[in-house]
């Protein structure tokens, strides 16, 4: 997929002002409480604010807009494979575009050191985009379309559909939980196959562990608050199984040139935009 498919521009996110404002946002996420459980949140005010920010960081509206358009034109374009394939690639491009925007929006990722951020960027790009892809395809039941399935198999390989269907078994209908999972697995740097162009050692692994622990704690407390202990354990284990299944899909896809090109383009575009965001922040600090 060509780099110019990623249509998000620098103007879509003003990094410095965005990050400055959102840390003080009022909590907007409303979580229904599980009947029979003590009506008292385990999360602190700061944790609720972080949960809200993480929920808001991943903006899936473009994916859903393009996905719905794909559903609407499905019957009309079934007889025109070439046109339908263009629409499918637009759908996939929206997933990669949303991934790049999310990575720029996540405070913890953006504020990583200049050494560690490039190390995590590729694995984060793969984790987030593949998780979003599985979620979106399941949401719109796109594998019910034979032509869609054939195009995905053409792009990602013969066994890709089987691997994605396996990952879908562990999807949770709770959108808040899915977004927390995306944030948590953004910082799982060991889910990609070996790449000689990526440095292997983080300069500050303790910082990454602290971020992972912070996100895991929020996810666990959210689950306890909403579902109670039994369901919390069950759903958290499903998240782990989801990541394992996603990793299998990624490992399979990493042998496909089209997939590699898409991730390369996403990484290059995100690196470039992060650099521009860094410049913006420096300029603002010196004003």
Closest alpha carbon to 7 in 101, 105, 104: 101
Instruction: Name the average pLDDT for the chain.
Output: 83
Residue 29: predicted pLDDT? 54
Residue appearing with tokens 């303790």: 206
| Domain regions of the chain by residue span | 45-195+202-286
Residue 44's CB is within 10 A of a number of other CB atoms, namely 11
pLDDT for residue 7: 38
Whether the CB-CB separation of 262 and 92 falls below 8 Å is answered with yes
Residue 237, pLDDT score: 95
Q: How far apart are CA 240 and CA 276, in angstroms?
A: 35
- pLDDT, one tens digit per residue, over 215-266 is 999 999 999 999 999 999 999 999 999 989 999 999 989 889 999 999 999 9
Residues 109 and 103 sit within 8 Å (Cβ to Cβ): yes
The reported pLDDT for the residue numbered 6 is 37
Q: Which residues of the chain have pLDDT under 50?
A: 1-18, 23-28, 34-39, 193-194
Tell me what pLDDT residue 142 has.
Answer: 93
Pick among 1.10.565.10, 3.30.70.1290, 3.40.50.300, 3.40.50.2300: CATH of 45-195+202-286: 1.10.565.10
Q: What is the pLDDT of residue 82?
A: 79
Q: Which residues contact 41 (CB under 8 A, 6 or more apart)?
A: 48, 221, 225
């Amino acid at each position: 997929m060509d780099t110019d498919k990623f249509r998000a521009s620098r103007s879509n996110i003003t990094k410095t002002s965005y990050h400055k404002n959102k840390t003080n946002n009022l909590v907007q996420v409303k979580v229904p409480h599980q009947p029979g459980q003590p009506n008292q949140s385990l999360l602190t005010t700061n944790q609720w604010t972080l949960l809200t920010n993480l929920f808001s960081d991943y903006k899936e509206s473009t994916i859903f807009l393009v996905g719905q358009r794909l559903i609407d034109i499905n019957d009309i374009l079934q007889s025109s494979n070439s046109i339908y394939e263009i629409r499918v690639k637009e759908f996939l491009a929206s997933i990669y575009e949303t991934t790049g925007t999310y990575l720029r929006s996540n405070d913890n990722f953006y504020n990583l050191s200049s050494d560690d951020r490039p190390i995590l960027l590729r694995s984060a790009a793969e984790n987030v985009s593949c998780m979003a892809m599985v979620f979106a395809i399941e949401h719109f039941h796109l594998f019910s379309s034979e032509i869609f399935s054939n195009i995905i198999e053409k792009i990602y390989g013969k066994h890709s559909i089987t691997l994605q269907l396996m990952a879908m078994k562990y999807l949770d209908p709770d959108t808040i939980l899915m977004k927390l999972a995306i944030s948590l697995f953004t910082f799982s740097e060991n889910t990609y196959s070996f790449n000689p162009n990526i440095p292997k050692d983080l300069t500050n692994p303790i910082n990454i562990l602290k971020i992972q622990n912070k996100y895991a704690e929020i996810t666990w407390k959210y689950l306890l608050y909403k579902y109670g202990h039994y369901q919390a354990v069950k759903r958290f284990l499903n998240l782990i199984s989801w990541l394992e299944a996603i990793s299998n899909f990624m490992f399979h896809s990493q042998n496909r040139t089209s997939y590699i090109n898409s991730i390369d383009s996403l990484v290059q575009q995100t690196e470039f935009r992060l650099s521009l965001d860094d410049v913006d922040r420096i300029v603002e600090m010196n004003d």
